Amino acid sequence: MNFKFLQLLGLLAVGWSSHAQGAIVNVTVTFQNLAPTNSVSFAPLRVGFNNGTFDSFNIGTTATAPIVSIAEGGSGSAWFPAFAAADPTAVLGTVGGALVPTGNVGGGFASSASQTFTIDTNVNRFFTFASMVIPSNDLFIGNDNPAAFQILDSSGNLLISQINQTASQIWDANSEVAIAANAAFVAGGVNGNRVEEGGTVAFDFAELNVFNGLTTGAGYVFNNSLAGTTDIGRISFSVTAVPEPSSMALVGLMGIGVVVRRFRKKSARV
Protein backbone atom coordinates (compact mmCIF):
# COMPACT_ATOMS: atom_id res chain seq x y z
CA MET A 1 0.00 0.00 0.00
CA ASN A 2 2.75 2.47 0.98
CA PHE A 3 4.74 1.60 -2.14
CA LYS A 4 1.75 2.35 -4.37
CA PHE A 5 1.22 5.59 -2.48
CA LEU A 6 4.80 6.67 -3.12
CA GLN A 7 4.47 5.75 -6.79
CA LEU A 8 1.34 7.90 -7.04
CA LEU A 9 3.10 10.86 -5.42
CA GLY A 10 6.01 10.50 -7.81
CA LEU A 11 3.76 10.48 -10.86
CA LEU A 12 1.85 13.47 -9.59
CA ALA A 13 5.03 15.41 -8.90
CA VAL A 14 6.32 14.74 -12.41
CA GLY A 15 2.97 15.58 -13.97
CA TRP A 16 2.55 18.86 -12.10
CA SER A 17 6.16 19.81 -12.79
CA SER A 18 5.71 19.14 -16.51
CA HIS A 19 2.51 21.15 -16.56
CA ALA A 20 4.09 24.02 -14.65
CA GLN A 21 7.05 24.23 -17.01
CA GLY A 22 4.75 23.19 -19.85
CA ALA A 23 7.38 23.37 -22.61
CA ILE A 24 7.17 27.14 -22.37
CA VAL A 25 10.30 28.72 -23.84
CA ASN A 26 11.61 32.07 -24.96
CA VAL A 27 12.66 31.99 -28.61
CA THR A 28 14.85 34.81 -29.88
CA VAL A 29 14.55 35.36 -33.63
CA THR A 30 17.37 37.20 -35.39
CA PHE A 31 17.01 38.40 -38.98
CA GLN A 32 20.17 39.38 -40.88
CA ASN A 33 20.52 41.00 -44.29
CA LEU A 34 23.36 39.15 -46.05
CA ALA A 35 22.91 40.70 -49.48
CA PRO A 36 25.86 42.36 -51.24
CA THR A 37 26.42 46.10 -50.79
CA ASN A 38 23.97 48.24 -52.82
CA SER A 39 21.67 45.25 -53.33
CA VAL A 40 18.32 44.26 -51.81
CA SER A 41 16.95 45.42 -48.51
CA PHE A 42 14.01 44.00 -46.57
CA ALA A 43 10.87 45.39 -44.99
CA PRO A 44 10.29 44.27 -41.38
CA LEU A 45 10.12 40.49 -40.99
CA ARG A 46 6.59 39.34 -40.12
CA VAL A 47 6.54 36.07 -38.19
CA GLY A 48 4.19 33.56 -36.64
CA PHE A 49 4.80 30.62 -34.30
CA ASN A 50 1.92 28.30 -35.05
CA ASN A 51 0.45 24.82 -35.50
CA GLY A 52 1.56 24.49 -39.13
CA THR A 53 -1.77 25.11 -40.85
CA PHE A 54 -1.82 28.77 -41.98
CA ASP A 55 -0.96 28.93 -45.69
CA SER A 56 -0.90 32.47 -47.09
CA PHE A 57 0.24 31.64 -50.62
CA ASN A 58 1.05 28.82 -53.03
CA ILE A 59 3.33 28.73 -56.05
CA GLY A 60 1.43 28.85 -59.33
CA THR A 61 -1.73 30.36 -57.84
CA THR A 62 -3.08 33.92 -57.73
CA ALA A 63 -1.75 35.88 -54.77
CA THR A 64 -4.51 36.67 -52.29
CA ALA A 65 -4.85 39.62 -49.90
CA PRO A 66 -2.75 38.21 -47.02
CA ILE A 67 0.45 37.78 -49.02
CA VAL A 68 -0.24 40.81 -51.23
CA SER A 69 -0.20 42.98 -48.09
CA ILE A 70 3.35 41.70 -47.51
CA ALA A 71 4.56 41.69 -51.11
CA GLU A 72 3.25 45.10 -52.19
CA GLY A 73 3.69 47.11 -49.01
CA GLY A 74 5.50 45.03 -46.41
CA SER A 75 2.91 45.83 -43.76
CA GLY A 76 1.12 42.51 -43.35
CA SER A 77 -2.12 44.43 -42.78
CA ALA A 78 -4.11 41.49 -44.18
CA TRP A 79 -1.54 38.79 -43.37
CA PHE A 80 -1.80 39.13 -39.59
CA PRO A 81 -5.63 39.04 -39.37
CA ALA A 82 -5.80 36.07 -41.74
CA PHE A 83 -3.16 34.27 -39.70
CA ALA A 84 -5.00 34.91 -36.42
CA ALA A 85 -8.31 33.77 -37.91
CA ALA A 86 -6.83 30.52 -39.23
CA ASP A 87 -4.84 29.77 -36.07
CA PRO A 88 -6.16 31.67 -33.01
CA THR A 89 -3.43 30.33 -30.69
CA ALA A 90 -0.55 31.46 -32.93
CA VAL A 91 2.01 33.90 -31.55
CA LEU A 92 2.46 36.67 -34.13
CA GLY A 93 4.90 39.53 -34.32
CA THR A 94 7.55 41.55 -36.14
CA VAL A 95 11.34 41.46 -36.14
CA GLY A 96 13.07 44.77 -36.79
CA GLY A 97 12.46 47.58 -39.21
CA ALA A 98 13.83 47.90 -42.73
CA LEU A 99 17.13 46.00 -42.98
CA VAL A 100 19.76 47.13 -45.49
CA PRO A 101 22.95 45.32 -46.59
CA THR A 102 25.86 45.68 -44.16
CA GLY A 103 27.71 48.02 -46.50
CA ASN A 104 24.77 50.42 -46.54
CA VAL A 105 24.16 50.74 -42.81
CA GLY A 106 23.63 54.32 -41.65
CA GLY A 107 20.97 56.97 -41.42
CA GLY A 108 18.98 54.97 -38.91
CA PHE A 109 19.10 51.70 -40.87
CA ALA A 110 20.52 48.42 -39.55
CA SER A 111 21.57 45.15 -41.15
CA SER A 112 20.14 42.87 -38.45
CA ALA A 113 17.47 42.81 -35.76
CA SER A 114 16.26 40.47 -33.03
CA GLN A 115 13.02 39.90 -31.15
CA THR A 116 12.10 37.42 -28.40
CA PHE A 117 8.79 35.54 -28.25
CA THR A 118 7.37 33.35 -25.47
CA ILE A 119 6.18 30.09 -27.02
CA ASP A 120 4.12 27.13 -25.80
CA THR A 121 5.59 24.29 -27.82
CA ASN A 122 2.57 22.10 -27.17
CA VAL A 123 0.70 24.18 -29.75
CA ASN A 124 3.17 26.41 -31.62
CA ARG A 125 6.14 24.36 -32.81
CA PHE A 126 6.13 25.66 -36.39
CA PHE A 127 7.55 28.91 -37.74
CA THR A 128 6.17 30.96 -40.62
CA PHE A 129 7.72 34.14 -41.99
CA ALA A 130 7.31 36.74 -44.73
CA SER A 131 9.05 39.97 -45.69
CA MET A 132 8.90 42.30 -48.67
CA VAL A 133 12.09 42.47 -50.71
CA ILE A 134 12.86 46.12 -51.48
CA PRO A 135 13.09 48.01 -53.73
CA SER A 136 10.27 46.27 -55.57
CA ASN A 137 6.61 46.36 -56.46
CA ASP A 138 5.66 42.89 -55.23
CA LEU A 139 8.70 40.75 -54.38
CA PHE A 140 9.00 38.92 -51.08
CA ILE A 141 10.53 36.02 -49.14
CA GLY A 142 8.47 33.51 -47.17
CA ASN A 143 7.58 29.85 -46.75
CA ASP A 144 5.06 28.37 -49.18
CA ASN A 145 4.62 25.22 -47.06
CA PRO A 146 3.24 26.16 -43.61
CA ALA A 147 4.70 23.00 -42.06
CA ALA A 148 8.14 23.42 -43.64
CA PHE A 149 9.85 24.66 -40.48
CA GLN A 150 9.15 22.81 -37.24
CA ILE A 151 11.78 24.59 -35.19
CA LEU A 152 10.89 23.11 -31.78
CA ASP A 153 9.93 19.74 -30.34
CA SER A 154 7.32 19.36 -27.60
CA SER A 155 10.00 19.66 -24.90
CA GLY A 156 11.24 22.99 -26.21
CA ASN A 157 14.40 21.69 -27.86
CA LEU A 158 15.57 23.57 -30.95
CA LEU A 159 15.26 21.45 -34.11
CA ILE A 160 16.24 24.13 -36.64
CA SER A 161 18.83 26.76 -35.74
CA GLN A 162 18.62 28.87 -38.88
CA ILE A 163 16.79 29.41 -42.16
CA ASN A 164 18.93 30.73 -45.02
CA GLN A 165 17.58 32.59 -48.02
CA THR A 166 19.24 32.98 -51.42
CA ALA A 167 18.28 35.15 -54.38
CA SER A 168 16.69 32.15 -56.09
CA GLN A 169 14.17 32.02 -53.21
CA ILE A 170 12.78 35.50 -53.87
CA TRP A 171 9.10 35.24 -54.74
CA ASP A 172 7.22 37.44 -57.18
CA ALA A 173 3.55 37.79 -56.26
CA ASN A 174 2.89 38.92 -59.85
CA SER A 175 0.05 40.99 -58.49
CA GLU A 176 1.52 44.35 -59.51
CA VAL A 177 3.39 45.34 -62.66
CA ALA A 178 7.05 46.20 -62.00
CA ILE A 179 7.07 49.97 -62.53
CA ALA A 180 9.84 51.77 -60.66
CA ALA A 181 7.76 54.91 -60.11
CA ASN A 182 5.21 52.83 -58.19
CA ALA A 183 7.69 50.82 -56.13
CA ALA A 184 8.49 50.79 -52.44
CA PHE A 185 11.89 52.03 -51.21
CA VAL A 186 12.68 53.99 -54.36
CA ALA A 187 13.41 57.70 -53.94
CA GLY A 188 10.45 59.56 -55.39
CA GLY A 189 8.39 56.40 -55.84
CA VAL A 190 4.72 56.34 -54.83
CA ASN A 191 4.07 52.88 -53.41
CA GLY A 192 0.33 53.55 -53.24
CA ASN A 193 0.12 53.67 -57.02
CA ARG A 194 -0.12 50.32 -58.74
CA VAL A 195 -0.99 48.64 -62.01
CA GLU A 196 -2.71 45.25 -61.67
CA GLU A 197 -0.70 42.40 -63.15
CA GLY A 198 -3.00 39.43 -62.63
CA GLY A 199 -0.28 36.76 -62.65
CA THR A 200 0.50 33.89 -60.30
CA VAL A 201 3.10 33.48 -57.56
CA ALA A 202 6.51 32.39 -58.87
CA PHE A 203 10.21 32.63 -58.10
CA ASP A 204 11.79 35.63 -59.85
CA PHE A 205 14.66 37.84 -58.74
CA ALA A 206 15.49 39.06 -62.27
CA GLU A 207 12.70 41.62 -61.93
CA LEU A 208 15.05 43.56 -59.68
CA ASN A 209 16.90 44.75 -62.79
CA VAL A 210 14.14 47.35 -63.21
CA PHE A 211 15.67 49.25 -60.28
CA ASN A 212 19.32 49.27 -61.36
CA GLY A 213 20.82 52.74 -61.06
CA LEU A 214 17.96 54.14 -58.96
CA THR A 215 18.43 55.67 -55.52
CA THR A 216 16.84 53.72 -52.68
CA GLY A 217 15.09 54.96 -49.59
CA ALA A 218 18.32 54.39 -47.67
CA GLY A 219 20.24 56.63 -50.04
CA TYR A 220 22.35 54.08 -51.91
CA VAL A 221 22.22 53.47 -55.65
CA PHE A 222 20.72 50.06 -56.34
CA ASN A 223 22.66 47.41 -58.23
CA ASN A 224 21.16 43.97 -58.83
CA SER A 225 24.37 41.99 -58.60
CA LEU A 226 22.57 38.87 -57.42
CA ALA A 227 23.05 35.36 -58.76
CA GLY A 228 20.69 32.56 -57.84
CA THR A 229 23.00 31.19 -55.16
CA THR A 230 23.80 34.57 -53.60
CA ASP A 231 22.99 34.66 -49.89
CA ILE A 232 20.56 37.46 -49.12
CA GLY A 233 19.23 36.72 -45.65
CA ARG A 234 19.36 34.51 -42.58
CA ILE A 235 16.81 33.89 -39.86
CA SER A 236 18.36 32.29 -36.78
CA PHE A 237 16.91 31.05 -33.50
CA SER A 238 18.04 30.63 -29.92
CA VAL A 239 16.03 29.19 -27.05
CA THR A 240 16.02 29.74 -23.29
CA ALA A 241 13.75 28.14 -20.72
CA VAL A 242 11.10 30.23 -19.00
CA PRO A 243 11.59 30.02 -15.21
CA GLU A 244 8.81 28.18 -13.44
CA PRO A 245 6.62 30.67 -11.54
CA SER A 246 6.63 30.01 -7.80
CA SER A 247 2.83 30.13 -7.87
CA MET A 248 2.71 27.13 -10.19
CA ALA A 249 4.98 25.16 -7.91
CA LEU A 250 2.67 26.04 -5.01
CA VAL A 251 -0.33 24.81 -6.99
CA GLY A 252 1.48 21.54 -7.57
CA LEU A 253 2.26 21.12 -3.88
CA MET A 254 -1.32 21.96 -2.94
CA GLY A 255 -2.57 19.37 -5.41
CA ILE A 256 -0.30 16.70 -3.94
CA GLY A 257 -1.50 17.70 -0.46
CA VAL A 258 -5.11 17.10 -1.50
CA VAL A 259 -4.24 13.63 -2.79
CA VAL A 260 -2.35 12.80 0.42
CA ARG A 261 -5.32 13.79 2.59
CA ARG A 262 -7.74 11.76 0.48
CA PHE A 263 -5.42 8.77 0.49
CA ARG A 264 -5.09 8.91 4.28
CA LYS A 265 -8.88 9.12 4.72
CA LYS A 266 -9.35 6.16 2.42
CA SER A 267 -6.69 4.15 4.29
CA ALA A 268 -8.32 4.94 7.64
CA ARG A 269 -11.62 3.50 6.41
CA VAL A 270 -10.02 0.24 5.24
In this structure, how many other beta carbons lie within 10 angstroms of the beta carbon of residue 235?
Answer: 22
What is the reported pLDDT for 11? Answer: 41
| Confidence label for 195 from pLDDT (cuts 50, 70 and 90) | very high
Residue 71 pLDDT > 80, yes or no?
A: yes
Average of pLDDT values for 73-82?
A: 97
What is the reported pLDDT for 244? Answer: 73
Residue 63 pLDDT > 60, yes or no?
A: yes
Segments of the chain assigned E as strands: 24-33, 41-42, 45-50, 91-95, 112-120, 126-134, 139-142, 162-166, 171-172, 202-203, 231-241
Domains of the chain: 24-243 (2.60.40.2130)
Residue type for 133, please?
Answer: V
Q: What's the whole-number average pLDDT of the chain?
A: 88
Residue 253 pLDDT > 70, yes or no?
A: no
Cβ contact 73:191 at 8 Å: yes
Over residues 85-144, the pLDDT tens digits come to: 999 999 999 999 999 999 999 999 999 999 999 999 999 999 999 999 999 999 999 999
pTM exceeding 0.95? no
Over residues 211-241, the pLDDT tens digits come to: 999 999 999 999 999 999 999 999 999 999 9
In this structure, how many other beta carbons lie within 10 angstroms of the beta carbon of residue 4?
Answer: 9
